[in-house]
Amino acid sequence: MRSSPAEATTHLLSAVSTMRKFSQGEEGEAFMARLVLNLGLIHLLKNNESEAERCFEAVIAYSASTTTSTKPSRTKEIVSSGATTVQLAELSLLSLKLSQGHTLPHSSSSITSSPMLSRSLSSNSIVRQSQVSSTISTRLQTLTRSLTSLDSSDSPSSSSSSPNSNLTPSLQFVISFTKALTSKEITKSKSNLSNALNATSKMSANHARALTLALLANLFEQTRNTEVSTNFFPDA
């Protein structure tokens, strides 16, 4: 029902209500989390950002409810199976908050917001950026840390700028995409988006590929014309 978000919302709410009544066990809870994630994405289609955020936070809270003792085995399972519903919710929430003009705290940089996702600087967005609280900044840091926790490329012993090659393509995409959104430098964002683009090719994920290309295009739009000409039209 991609052409009817309102009708799709009605069906998803009905499905969630049914799952609350009859689902039992971890598999049932995981399936309901997926339904809530889909509901959040549909709210985004309807420009209902507050409801979308509530859905994403609910899915993330499901992950927080798992016991600490199961985390080592769950981490091993994630590495072998790919990105989870919770990681998709975290990435969706991070993208939403960055697109609203909220920022990640950087120790020494004048570029504190995502160079790709920040909306045009209307008077409303300027006010919004000036009112960013430390609580939201800390929340964004937590999301970023969680999404990139499986990446070993930033360790002192690693010289690679791409995610761990032992990870599945979907996890490589999540990590590279997250690092691209949160990077304070356009050059690093481009590099990470290129890694994400390679991962979408391995996954045959056309929607993720289109999104990555759109963000790359937005970055090049903000880059000097001379740099674009050098990269794409060397003989010009």
Per-residue model confidence (pLDDT) at position 103: 79
What b/e readout covers 42-68, taking b as 16+ CB neighbours within 10 angstroms? Answer: bbbeeebeeebbebbbbbbebbeeeee
User: What are the structure tokens assigned to 98, written together?
Assistant: 């960055």
33 to 62, 136, 149, 205: CA distances (angstroms): 7, 23, 21, 22
Closest to 76 (Cα-Cα) out of 186, 150, 173, 158? 150
Per-residue model confidence (pLDDT) at position 69: 44
Closest to 81 (Cα-Cα) out of 170, 143, 175, 204? 170
Q: How confident is the model over 69-96, as pLDDT tens digits? A: 455 555 555 444 567 899 999 999 999 9
Average pLDDT over residues 199-209: 92
Cβ-based neighbours of 226, under 8 Å, separated by 6 or more: none
pLDDT band at 130 (very low <50, low <70, confident <90, very high): very low
Residue 118 DSSP symbol: P
